[in-house]
Amino acid sequence: MKKNLSRLAPLALFAVMALPLNASGYVIGPTSPGKWGNPLLGTGATVTWSLMGGNVSCGLLASGCTTTALDAFLPSGFMTEIRHAFDAWSAVANINFVQVPDDGAAFDSTTASGDIRIGALPLDGANSMLAFSFFPPLNGNSGAGDIFLDYSEPWKIGFGGSGYDVFQVVTHEIGHAIGLDHVTGVSALMNPWYSEAVRGLQADDIAGVRFLYGPRAPIPEPASMALFTLGLLGVGLQRLWRRRRD
């Protein structure tokens, strides 16, 4: 049984799937839409993130709720996969992610931790919901953007065999945390069901994040930069030559 990749929207309510804002197969979250940084669509943002440790209070989600540290149940190498998940989004859109320490504050309370905090809970046992996350502001207090994994699931790194790939799931949840909702009818990472038919971001995922934050500015190719530098050097030599002739 494949598992649902879920999320919550305003902190006291489940999200209702919004209609696509254009003909592309992406769906924007229902918070006006929510995004980090400048609220103007298509503008970039810098977003911090941190990992909740164990025993962080999440009583707003359930009575007596506390988190479990990720290293208590995820496979060795999970940190690399989480960083790759953030990198996948920043590679295609004008959104930058910076890891910061987590101060252990309770969920949705005043905190100096990351804008996006990643923690783990006993959600609903094995073979049901893999994870859930919150949309970005405007959505609650510091809980906006936070992600929770189900520690009772069999997690793995890579495809094949039983279990659920850390990169695939976390990348999907980051999509919600930065403002994308589930989409159906297209081949996309933001589909609501876990699948290993595709890995990482697909065309509609990329279109959605670029709608919110704009495309990643292209980096000049080294050859182009070298030619530009040589051109400037040539101008300088020409001026020097002219001075000497004078």
pLDDT digits (tens, 9 = 90+) for 61-81: 877 789 999 999 999 999 999
Asked if the model's pLDDT at residue 25 lies above 60, the reply is yes
According to the model, what pLDDT value does residue 168 have? 96
Distance between CA atoms of residues 28 and 20, nearest Å = 7
- From the list 47, 65, 61, 46, the residue with the least C-alpha distance to 8 is 61
Task: Tell whether 182 and 83 lie within a shared domain.
Answer: yes
In the residue annotation, 173 being an active-site residue is answered as yes
CA–CA separation, 107 vs 104, rounded Å?
Answer: 9
- 142 and 229, same domain (yes or no): no
Q: Helix, strand, or coil here: 137?
A: coil
Buried b (16+ CB within 10 A) or exposed e, 84-102: ebbebbbebbbbbbeeeeb
Do residues 22 and 83 share a domain? yes
Look at 38 and 129; give whichever has higher pLDDT.
Answer: 38
Helix (H) or strand (E) holding 164: strand 164-165
Take residue 84 and report the two structure tokens written for it: 């790759």
Reported as a single tens digit per residue, the pLDDT across 87-126 is 999 999 999 999 999 999 999 899 999 999 999 988 776 7
Same domain, 46 and 86: yes
- Whether 9 and 115 map to the same domain: the answer is yes
Residues 168 and 228 in one domain: no
Helices 166-177 and 203-213, packing angle to 10 deg: 30
Instruction: Give mean pLDDT, residues 22-37.
Output: 76
Tokens of 15: 């999200």
Domains: count for the chain:
2
Model confidence band, residue 186 (pLDDT cutoffs 50, 70, 90): confident
CATH number of the domain to which 176 belongs: 3.40.390.10
Residues 178 and 234 placed together within one structural domain of the fold: no
Q: Is the pLDDT of residue 246 over 90?
A: no
**Local confidence band at 171 (pLDDT 50, 70, 90 cut-offs):** very high
Do 124 and 238 fall into the same domain? no
Cβ-contact 106, 56 below 8 angstroms: yes
Q: 224 falls in which pLDDT band (50, 70, 90)?
A: low
Q: How far apart are CA 135 and CA 152, in angstroms?
A: 24
Q: What percent of the chain has pLDDT over 70?
A: 75
Verify that 90 and 211 share a domain, yes or no: yes
- 110 and 169 in a single domain? The answer is yes
Mark whether 151 and 245 lie in a shared domain: no
Q: Judge if 178 and 245 occupy the same domain.
A: no
**Phi, psi dihedrals of residue 126, rounded to the nearest 5°:** -75, 155
C-alpha–C-alpha distance, residues 140 and 90, integer Å: 24
C-beta separation of 170 from 85 below 8 A: yes
CA torsion angle for 215, 165, 152, 3 (degrees, to 10)? 80
- 63 CB contacts (<8 Å, ≥6 apart)? none
* Residue-range definition of the domain harbouring residue 171: 4-215
Annotated catalytic residue within 81, 153, 173, 221:
173
